[in-house]
Structure 1
Amino acid sequence: MPTPDHSNGAPCWIDLMSSDPEKAKSFYGGIFGWTFQTGDQEKYGGYITASKNGKAVAGIMQKMEDQAAMPDMWSTYLRTDDAAATAAAVAAHGGQVYMAPMDVPEQGHMAIFGDASGAAVGVWQPREMKGYELAAEPGAPVWHELHTKDYEKAVKFYQDVFGWDTEVLSDTPEFRYTTLGAGDAAKAGIMDASGFLPEGVPSNWQVYFGVEDADAAIAKAVELGGTVIRPPEDTPYGRNATLTDSTGAVFMISQALPRGGEETQ
């Protein structure tokens, strides 16, 4: 598959904040067949790049001491041409700047924000590093989804701050869902999660990874110390399940099913 075309406002990178990067490497390498390269400690803080078939798909970084109380977690980064301008827009539209734009030598600029519904989301302003080089395939990200407790506020935030051209997929009391783009061209989704996110769990972004066989991937994950949060279920968008890795970070998997559903999400 060609390298993904990362348009402004769309997901372009993911990384894992881990309390045990070596354990994470063993886990994800075992499930997805990833290989790893560790960046220079002085320049990049030992940031680990994960690759599938020689193409970068994700990052892993060591959780800092002052982050010890936070759970291990995956983050989604949206592409921007101007991280500083995006930070100003975030603040102007009800969001928060958790980490101001910072320079990553030669690679680009990154920042972490809270959206208007309280979900953490990153941005990436690229230079040499454009984003993940593989998508919509086994072992790579196939979908990005915001589970929000304030659906209308979240949709408006991403429209206003990131210029999302949105499409309403469903608007019933049981299932409210909006996508960035429409149909097969959609690149991310926003789900009304107010009915199922527990109290104390904030709105959050979730990453779906493609797998060839969801049941085999789940068995391997459990063997490597992961847990099953939501068992596999056939949906119009694939056979999906929710898991945690060996240190508790939540992620989702999606197996493409014969046509009748889409390959992503």
Structure 2
Amino acid sequence: MPAFQALEGMPYWQDLATGDAQKSAYFYSKLLGWDVSGDAYRIARKEGLPVAGFISQLEDPTMTDAWVTYFLARDVDRVVVGVDKRGGSVLAVADVSLGRMALCADPAGAVFGVIEPAGEDQFVAAGEPGTPVWHEYVAIDRGRECIDFYAELFDWEVEESEGYFVVLADGAPFLGMRDESGSADLEGVAGFWETYLGVDNVELAARRAAELGGEVLAGPEASPFGRLVVVQDTTGATVTLCEVATPVNEDELDEAESLLR
């Protein structure tokens, strides 16, 4: 599986904050082929590369299970100063095995994180089945203000087209943001980051999620990203599964070409 080097301000990691880490880990390992290890903090791997973490939430009836997107930072402490300065809040800062991490909230209360990796390598598994393929912010309360908050905090290059905001690095998009302010369906929701995880067949993934005790909330359906299905997992967190092609192994291509010569 190839790994991609992330740049500062790009999505780098994702944690599932869950009321039952063991139950969540089982669901995603069976759905996406993840190998999950660890106790207090579980790390999921795909073909040996770290993909995501599972962290147990304290028993709090006001907390809901949710995926949290972490953005790469060279200096977490500098970024959290920027969070405070721009009207957000810093919920926690800690040094963990992965590096220095901070859990934050934007001006509307949507949760996100920043991470300064422990090592020099800044590679992530992404873009193929079993790994994150897209990240999207849904702005609801104080929508445009929150979109500007992230753009300024991470110094993003943002392009808008018909109400959808695409964030670019060297001309290539790496995440999206949409303003759903005033949406009746999302009334009372502050806003949230959404993780898209790749699957090779979205119909099969939807059926498998239901067999494992999850629930299909929307789809499968076509979208500009490909075929999607929105699933609620066995502890209540939602995730979008997106059909993507399995990359061709270059060594296999070389072998096939040699046979044709």
TM-score bracket for the superposition, by shorter chain length: 0.7 to 0.9
Residue 193 in 1 paired to residue 187 in 2? no
- The alpha carbon displacement at 1:120 in A equals 0.8
Q: Is the 8 A contact 1:226 1:245 kept in 2?
A: yes
- Mark the CA change 1:163 to 1:182 in structure 2 (over 3 Å): closer, same or farther: closer
SS of aligned partner of 1:9:
coil
Partners of 1:184 and 1:27 in 2: CA distance: 36
Note the C-alpha offset of 1:55. Answer: 1.1
- Deviation of 1:116 (Å): 2.5
Question: 2:254 aligns to what?
Answer: none
The 3 A distance-change label for structure 1 pair 23 and 200 is same
CA contact (8 A) 1:229 1:243 kept: yes
Say yes or no: does 1:89 pair with 2:77. no
Correspondence 1:208 to 2:196: yes
Gap change, CA 1:25 and 1:141, over 3 Å in 2: same
In structure 2, list runs of 5 or more residues that go unmatched. 246-261
Matches within 5 A, 1:123-138: 123-128=114-119, 133-138=124-129
1:167 maps onto 2:159 in alignment: yes
1:104 and 1:178, CA in 2 relative to 1: closer, same or farther beyond 3 A? same
For 1:87-126, what aligned pairs fall within 5 Å after superposition? Answer: 87-99=80-92, 101-105=93-97, 107-126=98-117
Please tell me whether the aligned partners of residues 5 and 124 of structure 2 are also in contact (alpha carbons under 8 angstroms): no
- Check if 1:255 corresponds to 2:243: yes
Q: Number of aligned residue pairs: give it.
A: 243
Where does residue 23 of structure 1 map in the other structure? 23
Contact 1:91 1:97 in 2 (8 A): yes
1:63 paired residue number: 57
Per the TM alignment, residue 24 of structure 1 is displaced from its structure 2 partner at its CA by 1.0
2:167 paired residue number: 180
Farther-moved stretch of structure 1 (146-155 vs 12-21): 146-155
In structure 1, the gaps of 5 or more residues are: 40-45, 258-265
Aligned equivalents of 2:83, 2:7: Cα separation in 1: 19
Q: Measured at CA, do residues 15 and 129 of structure 1 come closer, stay the same or move farther in structure 2, by a change above 3 Å?
A: farther
- TM-score normalised by L of structure 1: 0.86
2:239 aligned counterpart, secondary structure: strand
Report the Cα offset of residue 248 of structure 1: 0.6
Kept after mapping to 1: 8 A contact 2:5/2:123: no
* Partner of residue 252, structure 2: none
Structure 2 residue aligned with 1:47:
41
Answer yes or no: is the 8 Å Cα contact 2:25–2:36 preserved in 1: yes
Alignment deviations for residues 8-37 of structure 1 (CA, whole Å, 9 cap, x no partner): 111000011111111112210111011111
Deviation at 1:184, TM superposition (A): 7.5
8 Å CA contact 1:94–1:116 kept in 2: the answer is yes
Q: Is the 8 A contact 1:108 1:129 kept in 2?
A: no
What is the aligned partner in structure 2 of residue 230 from structure 1?
218
Aligned residue for 1:243?
231
Taking a change above 3 Å as real, the CA distance of residues 253 and 223 of structure 1, as seen in their structure-2 partners, is same
Give the alignment's TM-score, normalised by structure 2.
0.87
Matches within 5 A, 1:31-42: 31-38=31-38
- Name the % identity: 35
Deviations 1:135-173 (CA, angstroms, capped at 9, x unpaired): 0100100000000013321221112111111122x22xx
Superposition deviation, residue 133 in structure 1: 3.0
Aligned partner of residue 238 in structure 1, secondary structure: coil
For 2:135 and 2:171, how far apart are their aligned partners in 1? 14
**What is the root-mean-square deviation in Å for CA atoms of aligned residues?**
1.9
Q: Distance in 2 between matches of 1:18 and 1:255?
A: 25
